Amino acid sequence: MNDSIQLAACLCRKFEGLRLHPYVCPAGYWSIGYGNRALANGAAVTAKTAPITQQQAEALLVFTLAGLRVKLRQLVRTQLSPNREGALLDFQYNLGTAALAGSTLLKYLNAGHDIAASDQLLLWNHMHRNGQLITVPGLTARRHAEWLLWSGVTPCDPQPAAPSPIPTDQLNAAEIDRVKENA
């Protein structure tokens, strides 16, 4: 496996998990599949979005990563190995193109400082909660996996994950209630 999209998809599967029904992610967004906030036609995922199949989730993941790779290649002014591009694609999938575009990571990478750029991956393991910046173990693990991939190690199984056996409503009841209250 040496295609950057497949390498990134591997990390996305591992860290996003697969849910075939709409759910509210920890950041408060309606999502489906492997953490997609939009469908292939550009429509935003909502509570009323129809469930999808595992095959549709896989196709949506690859479609999304392919679109992100186009944007990534516009931002990066240096040659990337598939592993490094895959690591950056997962980072971009998780945090967004704007976060990558304005990052010190990208500045270091484009300046030819590969080691400093890779170390920047590890710093993006925080989120805001109740006005405080906190370290999130899941983000720490994801950034470490990206760093390993950047370094040439493939830290995940390339096989797609099975759907969660727990219904989305049980997994996200509190998040769904919170979103409805704020709507």
Could you tell me which of 99, 120, 98 has the C-alpha nearest to residue 109?
120
State the Cα–Cα distance between residues 40 and 59, nearest whole angstrom: 9
* 94-127 pLDDT per residue, tens: 999 999 999 999 999 999 999 999 999 999 999 8
Q: What is the largest CA-CA distance in the chain?
A: 47
* 156-179 pLDDT per residue, tens: 755 554 544 444 344 344 444 544
- H helices present in 28-172, as ranges: 54-75, 82-95, 97-101, 104-110, 114-121, 137-150, 168-171
Q: Phi and psi for 32 in degrees, rounded to 5?
A: -155, 160
Could you tell me which of 122, 90, 96 has the C-alpha nearest to residue 8?
90
Half-sphere exposure (CA, 13 Å, Cβ side) for 110? 14
Using alpha carbons only, how large is the chain's radius of gyration in Å? 16
pLDDT confidence tier of residue 65, bands split at 50, 70 and 90 = very high
What pLDDT score does 103 carry?
98
Residue written as token pair 């190995």 = 81
Q: Phi and psi for 167 in degrees, rounded to 5?
A: -60, 145
**Which residues 6+ apart lie within 8 Å of 108 measured at CB?**
114, 116, 117, 120
Residue written as token pair 């990337």 = 80
What pLDDT score does 164 carry?
47
Could you tell me which of 74, 107, 68 has the C-alpha nearest to residue 87?
68
* Whether 36 contacts 45, CB under 8 Å: yes
Q: 31 - beta bridge partners?
A: 23
What pLDDT score does 106 carry?
98
* 133-146 pLDDT per residue, tens: 999 999 999 999 99
Q: Is the pLDDT of residue 28 over 80?
A: yes
Q: Is the pLDDT of residue 180 over 80?
A: no
Average pLDDT, the chain: 88
Q: Phi and psi for 135 in degrees, rounded to 5?
A: -80, 135
Q: Is the pLDDT of residue 64 over 50?
A: yes
pLDDT confidence tier of residue 14, bands split at 50, 70 and 90 = very high
